[in-house]
Amino acid sequence: MTASQWHLDPDLVRRYADGGLGSVLAASVEQHLVSCPDCRTLLDPHVGAARLDTVWADVLERVEQPPRTVLERMLGAIGVDDPTARLVAATPSLRGAWIAGVTLVLGLALVAAYADPQGVGLYLVLAPLLPLAGVALAYGPAADPAFEIAAATPYSQVRLLALRTAFVVTTTMLPATVAGLLLPGSPWIAVAWLVPGLALTVGTVALSTRLAPHLAAVALAVAWLGVSLRALAPRRDPLLAVSSPVLLASALVLATAVAVLVVRRRDLAELLRRTS
Amino acid sequence: MLSTAEERHVDEQVTDGALLSAVAQGSSAALEVLYRRHASWLIVRLGRRCADPAVVDEVLQDTFVAVWKGAGKFRGGDDAGAWLWGIAIRRLVDAFRRQPPAAYPLESAEVLGTRESAEDLVLLGVEHGDLAGALHRLSPELRAAVQATVLDGLTTREASRLLGVPAGTIKTRMMRARRVLRKELA
């Protein structure tokens, strides 16, 4: 009798599967199983079909998922769970084209600032509009190809909007702040626009309880241009775009918007559920 | 439309190697055939090294997801048994690193008490000569170390995670096991 003719018998297999076989004999069985397809099939009756089907269903779900994007992996690394990461990553304003647009606008503002002292004013006027535009594009049927799916998902729409807004604000405000640090003059410029920027962003979300998000964004953008360009025009000092009255007004808008959101969070949820 | 028996017959014609080539091309159907062919013995073998069925199921799932991603790396010919076990045991080690097990299932006194039948021992003798008897006289701890490093082919570090003891302990146990075996087989 040679080793290749040695095969398992049903009783040995049963004792192995039940865990009732000593480890030396079990090791022999295992060494044989690794290279004998016929004997491996003897173990099939010892494992429940339901258990095998459950594990297979989980395997199938994982292999049929589209691979995770770089952004989703980064979100996962900071503790965001997988479905949330996928919904956030589907945000239109987090896609490559949008980020390229932000970089272009900031680049132009930098060039303008170096060409002419008035250019700093251009930066201060444009920078707060970036997160505003990002948020306007972050949600709603006009902007989001996944909107129908997002709206039909049993997932808090307000939470999704808040998450997306937070990520959009981060991805626009960080590069804009870095660009501000590269501007000639006081480093104060880099942060001076943050208050109006936040006010416009949160204001858009608050107004979205009444208006479509893009309309709310346009209305606020026009208002901001009016205020900042007026402040800028007469005395030709670019920093006036974010002078104390402007900052104070922005802080007021921010506080009002936050208050509106807190009071109307139910309306917001309702609005977000409607698909038009 | 094929009957189940005919389907199985068709499946049996295809070697593991051919299935893995298809998996590497993105066929989840081929992965399923491979899974149906190998899941049972992998579950039982993993179950002898991990007492928690939930962990075993998770490891099996990880194993076939890893097969899905790494099917192109298979260079083993027709049968993938050894290759699959190599992936599964390492996934088990990974699972133990994430969540160390309460205790590695060493043999209970009851199992130790049941001696293999005379016929079993003869069969073992054919395969392994005196080795079977010698292994039998090792303590359960030493035998587990031999099993993890020699039979499962793990590194010292991997074996230490699997058995839940420091790597230094595995080295000492292997040294002692080698000494005992050498004396017994001399």
Question: B44-100, pLDDT tens digit by residue?
Answer: 999 988 888 999 999 999 999 999 999 888 887 788 898 999 999 999 998 888 877
**pLDDT higher for A264 or B53?**
B53
Is the per-residue pLDDT at B38 higher than 70?
Answer: yes
- Percent pLDDT > 90 in chain A is 7
Distance CA B157, CA B184 (A): 27
Contact B35, A56 (CB under 8 A): yes
**Which among A184, A167, A91 is positioned nearest to A131, based on CA atoms?**
A167
Find the residue in B nearest to A3 (Cα). Answer: B127
CB-nearest partner of B35 from A34, A46, A56: A56
ipTM tops 0.95: no
Mean per-residue pLDDT of chain A: 74
A-interface mutation test, from B16, B44, B114, most A Cβ less than 10 A away: B44
What single-letter amino acid sits at A161? L
What digits encode the pLDDT tens for the residues B141-168?
888 888 888 888 889 999 998 888 899 9
pLDDT: which is higher, B60 or A98: B60
**Rounded to whole angstroms, how far apart are CA atoms A87 and A164?**
9
Pairwise CB contact (< 8 Å): B57 & A51: yes
Contact call for B85 and A34, based on CB within 8 A: yes
Taking the Cβ of residue B40 and every Cβ of chain A, the question of whether any pair is shorter than 8 Å is answered with: yes
DSSP helix/strand/coil, B155: coil
Question: B111 — contact with chain A (CB < 8 Å)?
Answer: yes
Q: Is A210 helix (H, G, I), strand (E, B) or coil?
A: coil
Q: Does residue A12 sit at the B interface (CB-CB below 8 Å)? A: yes
Instruction: Name the DSSP letter for residue A239.
Output: G
How many whole angstroms separate alpha carbon B64 and alpha carbon B80? 12
| pTM for the whole structure | 0.56
CB contact under 8 Å between B116 and A60, yes or no, is no
B140 touches chain A (CB under 8 A): yes
Provide, for chain B, the percentages of residues in helix, strand and coil under a 3-state DSSP scheme, each rounded to the nearest 5: 75, 0, 25
Cβ within 8 Å of residue A97, ≥6 positions away? none
Percentage of residues of chain A with pLDDT beyond 70: 68
Q: Cβ contacts (< 8 Å) between A1 and chain B: which residues?
A: 126
Instruction: State whether residue B28 sits within 8 Å of chain A by CB.
Output: yes
Beta strand extents in B63-132 (DSSP E only): none
pLDDT at A249 over 90: no
Length of chain B: 186
Helix axis angle for A213-232 and A194-207, nearest 10°, is 150
Q: Tell me the mean pLDDT in the region A84-106.
A: 69
pLDDT at A84 exceeding the cut of 80: no
Backbone torsions φ then ψ of B127, nearest 5 degrees: -80, -40
Which of the residue ranges A51-60, A76-85, A209-218 would you say has the lowest mean pLDDT? A76-85
pLDDT surpasses 60 at A3 = no
Q: Which is more confident, A16 or A23?
A: A16
A68 touches B: beta carbon within 8 Å:
no
Q: What is the DSSP letter of B78?
A: S
Neighbours of A7 (CB within 10 A): 12
Determine the Cα angle at A194 with ends A190 and A196, to 5°. 130
Alpha-carbon distances of A218 from A137, A222, A242, rounded to whole Å: 11, 6, 20
Give the pLDDT score at A2.
Answer: 42
Give the pLDDT confidence score for residue A55 in this predicted structure: 94
Average pLDDT of chain B to the nearest whole number: 80
B126/A3 touch (CB, cutoff 8 Å), yes or no: yes
Distance CA B182, CA A157 (A): 69
**pLDDT tens track for A102-145:** 777 777 777 777 777 666 777 777 777 877 777 777 665 555 55
Taking only residues 62 to 81 of chain B, the set having a beta carbon closer than 8 angstroms to any beta carbon of chain A reads 64-65, 68, 79, 81
Selected residue with higher pLDDT from A202 and A272: A202
Q: What is the mean pLDDT of residues B113-122?
A: 48
- Per-residue pLDDT for B41 more than 60? yes
**Cα dist from A204 to A79, A89, A92, A218, B99, whole Å:** 28, 21, 17, 9, 46
A194-227 burial, b for 16+ CB within 10 Å, e for fewer? Answer: bbbbbbbbbbbbbbbbeebbbebbbebbeebeeb
Contacts of B40 in chain A (CB under 8 A): 40-41, 43-44, 46-47, 52
Cα distance from A78 to chain B (closest Cα, Å)? 18
CB spacing of A27 vs B151 below 8 angstroms: yes
Task: Count Cβ neighbours within 10 Å for each residue of A129-159 and write b for 16 or more, e otherwise.
Answer: bbbbbbbbbbbbeeebeebeebbeeeeebee
Residues in chain B with CB shorter than 8 Å from the CB of A52 are 35-36, 39-40, 43
Angle at B45 between CA B9 and CA A36, to 5 degrees: 40
Residues of A in contact with B135 (CB under 8 A): 23-24, 27
> Measured between alpha carbons, how far is B34 from B78 in angstroms, rounded to an integer?
12
Q: Does residue A109 contact residue A119 with C-beta atoms inside 8 Å? A: yes
Which helix (H) or strand (E) element contains residue A108? helix A96-115
B68 contact residues in A (CB cutoff 8 A): 59, 62-63
